[in-house]
Chains A and B, each alone.
Chain A
Amino acid sequence: MAIMSNNMLGLIFANLHDDTISDLTKMRTMGSVPFGARYRLIDFPLSNMVNSGISSVGVITKANYQSLLDHLGSGGEWDLSRKTGGLKLLPPYGHVGGGLYRGRMEALHGVENYIAESNAEYVLMTDCNVIVNLDYNHILEYHIEKEADITIVYGHGSYTVEQMQTKTAFGVDADGRINDVLIFPNKEGEFNTSMNMYICKRDFLMELITETASRNLYSFEVDVIQHKHKEYKIYGYRYNGYYEQIDGNLSYFAANMALMSQEKRSILFPQRRPIYTKVRDEAPAKYGIEADVCNSLVADGCIIEGKVENCLLFRGVQVGKGAMLKNCIIMQDTVIGDKSEMNYVITDKDVKVGAYRSLFGTEDYPVFVGKAASV
């Protein structure tokens, strides 16, 4: 496994899909959106890459990437602080002529030198909006077996009209080759939907970059997959395991709440394939005399003196005496005052909620409180 995987260069697109959860990406990239009481979305693709033996990872950013830089640092927490390879942040304007990109192909064009300098045979590209724990080597094996030009990972399920407004769907033939591509089809039903993970040979990608750039084409989905699937051998790899895809506030909320399931947690966080994240050196969570917590995920550094039910509490959250939280996602260092009541609320980092406040959202419309706001 190790030998083969050294053949892969990892590329993560940290900014794609930002607009699907615009509240949370107002001040950050999709990759640095907090998730699961402790993580940022980018922790999943990064950890999956490391667990698959990939030791060179480039992170392509566009805007708002201060929080991403803070989170990733030198990559040591993912074991990517290496002499050779390791983590490389690839912001826009990285070289003369590079600028803000309009789509995936243009972003790749902007980091062409980084890709060219690698000696990996294959490139694995992924976005940050899928929560999954998978071994990319399985996809590479499939890609090699099919002698494909590009392999795309997809899941299968039935979706609502709203869900299909942000997804790309594929038709695949009996051999697994993609023969139809629907981008944001506005209809409900059963679909093969893209998980936004791609493998191809590095040489092939370099040619593709040159080809699309010379024609001023910038979209991978439209200009390559949709228009060229007859010309190139584009295969779909069907992933049947558990995953969550975030493409809106509701799916973000649901993906977090899904972690209350022991079974799902054991799939996403197995001991031998851990999900790494930035360390914050917090003391263990402290429960006070009147704490009453059930069905909740609680990170280190929390101090809980109130009632908490069906909630995710990120690191350093404080819940005052007599406070009642239900169905909430409370991010890092938020302080909830005594006797406040909240139901279906998402608070961003560093929010202060005073004493005796009430905030109520609903299951299909959680209230969002922005970063460092005071309520």
Chain B
Amino acid sequence: MYHVKKECVAMILAGGQGSRLYALTQDMAKPAVHYGGKYRLIDFPLSNCVNSGIDTVGVLTQYQPLVLNEYIGNGHPWGLDRVHGGVHMLSPYESQGGKNWYTGSATAIYQNIQFVDRYNPDYITLLAGDHIYKMDYSLMLDYHKKQKADATIAVIEVPWEEASRFGIMTANENGVITEFAEKPAEPKSNLASMGVYIYSWKVLKKYLIANENDPAAKKDFGGNIIPDMLKDGCKMVAYNFDGYWKDVGTIDSLWEANMDLLNPNIPLDLHDHNWRVYSRNPVMPPHYAGENSFIENSMVAEGCNIEGRVDFSILFAGVKIEKGATVRDSIIMPNTVVKSGAVIEYTVVGEDCVIGEKAHIGERPEAIQDKDSWGVAVIGHQIEISPETKIKPKAMISENI
């Protein structure tokens, strides 16, 4: 079959478990985690692709793919239901050579060389499926071409004290990367890799095949591909990004990233019509703010019914806050009901939960003596909390109480 040539194909790594999100990723891969009142994390790389003019996207899935597969569907919400290209879900498969899981990021791309080759691209954009940021990949591609690079790695300045959590690049004054260190104990630079790469496909393909055939090699990009390319003198350049970027690996960072949307000083504007973040929209009426409701400094999605008090919080579609209930500094995922008199503070509540009357979940840090015992509480998906139950801060609830 004839495939139209594409200059650039994007591959999104979406197979991660997100194990540190615990109850929230029990039944779904991390890129499917809810964010910002109506999104899932994967909406960001998908929307970035579309807004950057990339219309051929492979999504590599492995861990709990059902929710993600259903969500992405034929790609219509992102404008990725295309005659040529579009979005494709790429799961591990069995071949004559055997059964192969995606044991690392390099293996995952290696196993899909056939998919990429169909479009005969000059470049491939490799993306993580679980980062929150708005970025024009076409500008990065221009830079990649201008530099005549083999690989371009997007980097962002991080605080020095956090640098040892990231893959750190050292680059010279021309932007050429001279050194790469994965989570270095003593970082030589504070330029962290954002997990956004552009490779010239011919070059990368060669390294993928060599890496896969080397039994001693680690099968991921940070472990072997990038160090090997550097060692061989490939031209690898750093592309500086200075916008908002967040990796939500933990409950705290997920909570923070949501709260960032309520902070006018943080440059992540989801209301910008020139760079829309697309998502699958719920079919619900507008939200209703009741006679006695009080809503301040919050984001509220459609289908919500609010009779209580909502402050510094993010409510997803179809959430119901009954009279006399209070939600503060919290994130409430779709279709959860908070019964009257319940109080929720510093908590992430999953979807389809019922929080019973007068239950008290989480606590404000000010109200706690022992600061070490304080943290954001989490209620998993489809959980019922019975009336008058008290749930401590930092708790992780994955069964009915």
Instruction: Count A/B pairs, Cβ under 8 Å.
Output: 109
Q: Contacts A284-B38, A285-B299 given: A262-B288 contact, CB under 8 Å?
A: yes
Choose, from B146-154, B210-218, B275-283, B383-391, the stretch at the interface: B275-283
Cβ of A228 to closest chain B Cβ, rounded Å: 41
Cβ of A373 to closest chain B Cβ, rounded Å: 21
Contacts of B277 in A (CB 8 A): 281, 283
Contacts of B289 in A (CB 8 A): 293-298, 308
Contact across chains for A281 and B281 when beta carbons are under 8 A apart: yes
Contacts of A312 in B (CB 8 A): 286
Number of interface residues of A (CB under 8 A): 39
Which of A38, A287, A293 is packed against the most chain B CB atoms within 10 Å? A287
Q: Does B20 contact A (CB under 8 A)?
A: no
Identify which of residues 247-285 in chain A touch chain B, using a CB-to-CB cut-off of 8 Å.
Answer: 259-260, 262, 265, 268-269, 274-276, 279, 281-285
Bound form: Cα–Cα A285–B302 in Å = 8
Contact across chains for B38 and A283 when beta carbons are under 8 A apart: yes
Contacts of A303 in B (CB 8 A): 271
Number of interface residues of B (CB under 8 A): 39
Pick from B270, B290, B292: contact of A283, CB under 8 Å: B270
Contact across chains for B288 and A291 when beta carbons are under 8 A apart: no
Contact across chains for B285 and A265 when beta carbons are under 8 A apart: yes
Contact across chains for A297 and B279 when beta carbons are under 8 A apart: no
Contacts of B300 in A (CB 8 A): 284-285, 287, 298
Identify which of residues 23-40 in chain A touch chain B, using a CB-to-CB cut-off of 8 Å.
Answer: 36-38
Bound form: Cα–Cα A33–B298 in Å = 30
Pick from A276, A282, A291, A298: contact of B296, CB under 8 Å: A291
Bound form: Cα–Cα A300–B318 in Å = 13
Q: Does A286 contact B (CB under 8 A)?
A: yes
Q: Does B287 contact A (CB under 8 A)?
A: yes
Bound form: Cα–Cα A295–B293 in Å = 8
For A296-332 the 0/1 string (1 means CB < 8 A from B) is 1111110100001000110000000000000000000
Contacts of B270 in A (CB 8 A): 283
Bound form: Cα–Cα A312–B285 in Å = 12
Pick from A282, A283, A297, A308: contact of B287, CB under 8 Å: A297
Bound form: Cα–Cα A297–B297 in Å = 17
Contacts of B287 in A (CB 8 A): 285, 297-299
Contact across chains for A298 and B286 when beta carbons are under 8 A apart: yes
Contact across chains for A289 and B296 when beta carbons are under 8 A apart: yes
Bound form: Cα–Cα A76–B271 in Å = 24
Bound form: Cα–Cα A282–B278 in Å = 8
Q: Which residue of A lies closest to B262 (CB)?
A: A286
Pick from B279, B291, B295, B301: contact of A291, CB under 8 Å: B295
Bound form: Cα–Cα A284–B300 in Å = 5
Bound form: Cα–Cα A281–B271 in Å = 10
Contacts of B288 in A (CB 8 A): 260, 262, 265, 296-298
Q: Contacts A38-B302, A281-B276, A281-B279 given: A287-B296 contact, CB under 8 Å?
A: yes
Contact across chains for B271 and A282 when beta carbons are under 8 A apart: yes
Q: Does B380 contact A (CB under 8 A)?
A: no
Q: Does B15 contact A (CB under 8 A)?
A: no
Q: Does B356 contact A (CB under 8 A)?
A: no
Bound form: Cα–Cα A287–B304 in Å = 14
Q: Does B36 contact A (CB under 8 A)?
A: yes
Cβ of A154 to closest chain B Cβ, rounded Å: 27
For A327-348 the 0/1 string (1 means CB < 8 A from B) is 0000000000000000000000
Bound form: Cα–Cα A260–B287 in Å = 10
Contacts of B278 in A (CB 8 A): 281
Contacts of B281 in A (CB 8 A): 279, 281
Bound form: Cα–Cα A282–B288 in Å = 17
Q: Does A288 contact B (CB under 8 A)?
A: yes
Contact across chains for A283 and B299 when beta carbons are under 8 A apart: yes
Contact across chains for A295 and B76 when beta carbons are under 8 A apart: no
Q: Which residue of B lies closest to A290 (CB)?
A: B296
Bound form: Cα–Cα A164–B298 in Å = 46
Q: Does B77 contact A (CB under 8 A)?
A: yes
Q: Which residue of B lies closest to A291 (CB)?
A: B296
Contacts of B296 in A (CB 8 A): 287-292
Identify which of residues 283-327 in chain B touch chain A, using a CB-to-CB cut-off of 8 Å.
Answer: 283-302, 305, 310, 314-316
Contact across chains for B290 and A274 when beta carbons are under 8 A apart: no
Contacts of B286 in A (CB 8 A): 36-38, 297-300, 312-313
Contacts of A281 in B (CB 8 A): 77, 276-279, 281
Cβ of B214 to closest chain A Cβ, rounded Å: 45
Contact across chains for A284 and B37 when beta carbons are under 8 A apart: yes
Contact across chains for B283 and A283 when beta carbons are under 8 A apart: no
Q: Which residue of A lies closest to B289 (CB)?
A: A293
Contact across chains for B38 and A300 when beta carbons are under 8 A apart: yes
Bound form: Cα–Cα A354–B302 in Å = 28
Contact across chains for A275 and B285 when beta carbons are under 8 A apart: yes
Which of A259, A275, A279, A292 is packed against the most chain B CB atoms within 10 Å? A279
Bound form: Cα–Cα A114–B298 in Å = 50
Contact across chains for B302 and A289 when beta carbons are under 8 A apart: no
Contacts of A313 in B (CB 8 A): 286
Contact across chains for A284 and B301 when beta carbons are under 8 A apart: yes
16 more contacts with CB within 8 A, not counting A281-B281, A286-B299, A308-B289, are: A36-B285, A259-B285, A265-B285, A281-B277, A283-B36, A286-B261, A287-B297, A287-B298, A291-B297, A292-B294, A293-B293, A298-B286, A298-B289, A299-B286, A299-B287, A300-B38
Q: Please list the 4 inter-chain residue pairs (A to B) with the smallest Cβ-Cβ separation, ordered nearest first.
A: A284-B37, A283-B270, A284-B301, A37-B286
A-B contact pairs, 29 of them (CB 8 A): A36-B286, A37-B285, A265-B285, A274-B283, A279-B77, A281-B276, A281-B279, A284-B36, A284-B38, A284-B299, A284-B314, A285-B300, A286-B298, A286-B299, A287-B296, A287-B297, A288-B296, A289-B296, A294-B289, A294-B290, A294-B291, A294-B293, A295-B290, A295-B291, A297-B286, A297-B288, A298-B286, A298-B287, A299-B286
